């Protein structure tokens, strides 16, 4: 295997101020984009390429295909129809004519374009009034003695950096590349390993990406499948994988309490009014085996809405309580935390287990009493929100930290809960849950520090929800459908979405819908809930809906998680084309929780984009959250799917998890080999791609 590269720190880590033209102002603009060293410039790769290595005959041009042409000016027309405009007609030996059109120009430009002058231009032709034209081409007027030789490489087009022009950026990157070390100093991966896979060295890959030779496969470069990109993507995925594995190793260097008291969990299982599914039994067995060890469990349990994750978490909590210790369950919203509280109290208190509540609205004497019970251990299972992590919360003996919908929490919040049970090298076991199934490829990359379990089976008796996609023009029919369903004693949701980021705008749109539906359905009790309401008002409305005091609930997407109303059998999502698949699937999961046949109606506004059409078709075709997650990854990419702030996946510079998924098994294999045989190389790789940025996804 290759040895660590000592020259890398001496070269790649050099500050950009060593480059000509980089003063404090330019350095500040580059730093704002995360570019501070030569290495950062090496890895600032082009987003596309321009082929200026050849001249295309004008007669051969095709609309929409970017080309470079060279011709003689035949006519110049300067006009002011609606706005200033300059049209320059050029012709060549192919007897073709092309118009160069400019809307923004200076007088000196007009003077350049004298009839008979030779012009070389680059751009994308489109149909115009008099044949093909290029609007605002990049161009150069050639002198009589100027033969202007062609380049031997494609020209890179880099992602824009505010305040730095494209020519300046290209010049700086070219300077940085001149200081790229040789293979001996730069390469970290085993040469034989790269050779077996037909991949170039890192140096060759970088030079190819910044200046592809004129015969390069441009299609492969733009698709991200060129061997040079695959080489870089592989190393980047490997660095992220190693970073997460390092965290897992660091975490497991701590001790954890071995939990083996199974009698309470067994009693709960016998007392449940339903049998566990095979998937629940399998996942519980995995958790039980983890908790019996004296190293910390780090396990993610994913499963569709209604698959029964909470009861598995309850049994895990009883293993802690049965061992004389405490468990905590943290949820992102009070609605969801309250639901967990109700379920856990219903299951655990008949067994003599004290389940407590700690949320932001618990104040004054009630809060003091709750904190005292947590501190002395009387509160054996504690359910709450972010309030569980506040400074005043002290556990007597926290052995298991359960985090629901973990992607909704920030990194440090999850760490803070784990730290509540840390003492003398001992940390609590961690169980994180999500109702947003994660594609296998994403789990392999984003959760390399966690063991992943899937509850991939719904309890018997759950009728799949029928999904219907309707144009918003059919809204009146839908209102009649609601009237009929509620007349039969059922309840319905009507969810409003607005693409604007402002909660206020969403609330106003929902308010209007609430007023319209109240007027159209005077015989129904129509409720309204949105994110800007005070917590107690929101809770009261949700409680009234759950208790059957509201027939139709108009809401924003605040009800995406945390509501379990078995009597609700109809879900209408307005402007469904504006939501991602994961969110639509979560909303659909709010119905079909009882025995009645349920429906989800996705109302859309025409015209539909291709992506929106694919999303709605996927929703209509399947109820399987894992299938939907794979499609969501394909359509939206990993960063948006997981919540980029928490995972850092949006920081991938080259790798694309959907495109490069086939590299992941190899990434895992070589990562394990590096950690075992060459830990120094692993350090170098992480430093190169991630730097000092801490990754706390294991928290």
pLDDT in tens, 136-173: 998 888 876 666 678 778 888 898 898 898 889 999 99
| 126 and 166, same domain (yes or no) | no
Q: Residue 1: which pLDDT band, with cuts at 50, 70 and 90?
A: very low
| 134 and 227, same domain (yes or no) | no
| 345 and 237, same domain (yes or no) | yes
Query: Where does residue 294 rank: exposed (0-12), middle (13-18), buried (19+ CB within 10 A)?
Result: exposed
Please report, rounded to a whole number, the percentage of residues in the chain having pLDDT higher than 90: 41
DSSP E strands in 129-263: the ranges are 131-135, 138-142, 155-157
As a whole number, mean pLDDT of residues 637-664 equals: 62
**Lowest-confidence pick of 12-16, 179-183, 607-611, 645-649:** 645-649
As a whole number, mean pLDDT of residues 594-610 equals: 88
Q: Would you say 437 and 303 are in contact if contact means Cβ atoms under 8 Å apart? A: yes
As a whole number, mean pLDDT of residues 416-438 equals: 79
As a whole number, mean pLDDT of residues 121-149 equals: 85
1 within domain boundaries: no
pLDDT given for residue 527 in this prediction? 94
Residue 46: how many CA atoms within 13 Å on its side-chain side? 24
pLDDT given for residue 698 in this prediction? 37
Which CATH number do you get for residue 133?
2.40.50.140
pLDDT in tens, 660-695: 888 888 888 889 889 998 888 998 898 888 775 444
pLDDT in tens, 545-590: 988 999 999 988 777 555 678 899 999 999 898 888 888 988 898 8
| 301 and 431, same domain (yes or no) | yes
| 224 and 279, same domain (yes or no) | yes
| 227 and 325, same domain (yes or no) | yes
pLDDT of residue 613 exceeding 80, the answer is yes
**Lowest-confidence pick of 474-483, 492-501, 572-581:** 492-501
Domain that holds residue 481: 466-622
Separation in Å, CA 607 to CA 130, 289, 584, 620: 32, 53, 19, 18
**Lowest-confidence pick of 161-175, 370-384, 493-507, 632-646:** 632-646
As a whole number, mean pLDDT of residues 500-514 equals: 63
As a whole number, mean pLDDT of residues 600-606 equals: 92
As a whole number, mean pLDDT of residues 481-488 equals: 94
| 127 and 62, same domain (yes or no) | yes
Q: Residue 323: which pLDDT band, with cuts at 50, 70 and 90?
A: very high
Q: Residue 657: which pLDDT band, with cuts at 50, 70 and 90?
A: confident
pLDDT given for residue 498 in this prediction? 63
pLDDT in tens, 224-266: 899 999 999 999 999 988 988 887 788 778 899 999 878 899 9
As a whole number, mean pLDDT of residues 382-406 equals: 87
In this predicted model, which residue has the larger pLDDT, 287 or 34? 287
pTM: 0.69
Which CATH number do you get for residue 663?
3.40.50.300
| Tokens found for residue 464 | 């799949």
| 429 and 511, same domain (yes or no) | no
149 within domain boundaries: no
Find the DSSP H helices in 82-181.
107-112, 166-178
417 within domain boundaries: yes
Which CATH number do you get for residue 36?
1.10.150
Q: Would you say 26 and 164 are in contact if contact means Cβ atoms under 8 Å apart? A: yes
Calpha distance 418→258 (Å, rounded): 16
| 457 and 470, same domain (yes or no) | no
Domain count, the chain: 4
119 within domain boundaries: yes
Calpha distance 90→76 (Å, rounded): 9
244 within domain boundaries: yes
- Residue whose C-alpha is closest to residue 627's, from 439, 382, 419: 439
Q: Residue 288: which pLDDT band, with cuts at 50, 70 and 90?
A: very high
196 within domain boundaries: no
Query: Residue 160: CB partners within 8 Å, gap ≥ 6?
Result: 166
pLDDT given for residue 8 in this prediction? 44
| Tokens found for residue 692 | 């000092």
As a whole number, mean pLDDT of residues 29-39 equals: 89
| 454 and 508, same domain (yes or no) | no
Q: What is the mean pLDDT of the chain?
A: 84
């Amino acid at each position: 295997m290759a040895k660590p590269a000592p020259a890398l720190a001496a070269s790649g880590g050099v500050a950009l101020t060593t480059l000509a033209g980089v003063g404090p102002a330019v350095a500040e603009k580059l730093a704002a984009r995360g570019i501070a060293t030569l290495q950062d410039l090496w890895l600032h790769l082009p987003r596309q390429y321009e082929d200026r290595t050849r001249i295309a005959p004008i007669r051969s041009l095709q609309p929409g295909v970017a080309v470079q042409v060279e011709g003689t000016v035949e006519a110049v027309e300067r006009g002011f129809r609606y706005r200033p405009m300059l049209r320059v007609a050029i012709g060549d030996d192919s007897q073709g004519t092309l118009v160069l059109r400019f809307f923004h120009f200076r007088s000196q430009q007009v003077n350049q374009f004298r009839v008979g002058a030779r012009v070389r231009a680059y751009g994308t032709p489109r149909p115009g009034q008099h044949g093909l034209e290029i609007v605002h081409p990049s161009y150069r007027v050639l002198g009589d003695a100027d033969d202007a030789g062609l380049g031997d490489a494609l020209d890179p087009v880099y992602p824009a950096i505010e305040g730095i022009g494209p020519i300046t950026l290209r010049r700086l990157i070219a300077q940085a590349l001149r200081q790229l070390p040789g293979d001996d100093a730069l390469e970290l991966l085993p040469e034989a390993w790269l050779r077996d896979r037909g991949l170039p060295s890192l140096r060759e890959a970088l030079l190819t990406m910044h200046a592809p030779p004129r015969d390069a496969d441009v299609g492969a470069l733009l698709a991200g499948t060129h061997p040079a990109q695959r080489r870089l993507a592989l190393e980047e995925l490997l660095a992220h994988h190693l970073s997460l594995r390092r965290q897992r190793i660091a975490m497991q260097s701590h001790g954890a309490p071995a939990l083996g008291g199974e009698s309470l969990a067994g009693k709960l299982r016998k007392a449940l009014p339903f049998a566990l599914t095979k998937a629940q039994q399998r996942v519980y067995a995995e958790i039980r085996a983890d908790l019996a060890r004296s190293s910390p469990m780090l396990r993610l349990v994913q499963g569709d809405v209604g698959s029964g994750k909470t009861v598995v978490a309850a049994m895990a909590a009883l293993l802690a309580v049965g061992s004389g210790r405490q468990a905590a369950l943290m949820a992102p919203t009070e609605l969801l935390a309250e639901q967990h509280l109700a379920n856990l109290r219903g299951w655990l208190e008949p067994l003599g287990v004290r389940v407590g509540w700690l949320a932001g609205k618990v104040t004054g004497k009630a809060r003091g009493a709750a904190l005292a019970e947590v501190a002395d251990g009387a509160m054996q299972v504690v359910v709450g929100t972010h309030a569980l992590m506040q400074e005043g919360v002290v556990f007597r003996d926290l052995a298991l930290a359960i985090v629901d919908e973990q992607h909704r929490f920030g990194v440090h919040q999850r760490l803070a809960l784990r730290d509540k049970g840390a003492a003398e090298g001992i940390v609590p076991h961690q169980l994180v849950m999500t109702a947003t199934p994660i594609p296998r490829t994403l789990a392999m990359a984003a959760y390399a520090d966690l063991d992943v379990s899937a509850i991939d089976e719904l309890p018997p008796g759950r009728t799949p929800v029928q999904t219907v996609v309707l144009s918003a023009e059919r809204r009146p029919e839908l209102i009649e459908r609601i009237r009929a369903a509620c007349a039969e004693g059922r309840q319905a949701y009507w969810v409003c979405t607005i693409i604007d980021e402002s909660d206020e705008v969403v609330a106003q749109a929902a308010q209007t819908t609430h007023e319209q539906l109240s007027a159209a359905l005077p015989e129904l009790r129509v409720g309204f809930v949105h994110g800007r309401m005070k917590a107690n008002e929101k809770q009261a409305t949700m409680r009234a809906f759950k208790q059957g005091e509201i027939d139709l609930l108009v809401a924003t997407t605040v009800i995406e998680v945390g509501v379990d109303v078995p009597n609700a059998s109809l879900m209408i999502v307005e402007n469904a084309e504006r939501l991602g698949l994961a969110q639509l699937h979560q909303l659909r999961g709010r119905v079909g929780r009882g025995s009645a046949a349920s429906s989800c109606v996705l109302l859309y506004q025409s015209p539909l984009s291709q992506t929106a059409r694919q999303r709605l078709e996927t929703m209509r075709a399947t109820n399987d959250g894992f299938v939907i997650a794979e499609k969501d990854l394909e359509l939206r990419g990993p960063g948006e799917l997981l919540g980029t702030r928490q995972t850092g996946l949006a920081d991938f510079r080259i790798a694309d998890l959907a495109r490069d998924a086939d590299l992941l098994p190899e990434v895992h294999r070589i990562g394990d080999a590096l950690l075992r045989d060459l830990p120094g190389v692993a350090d170098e790789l992480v430093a190169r791609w991630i730097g000092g940025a801490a990754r706390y996804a294991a928290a």
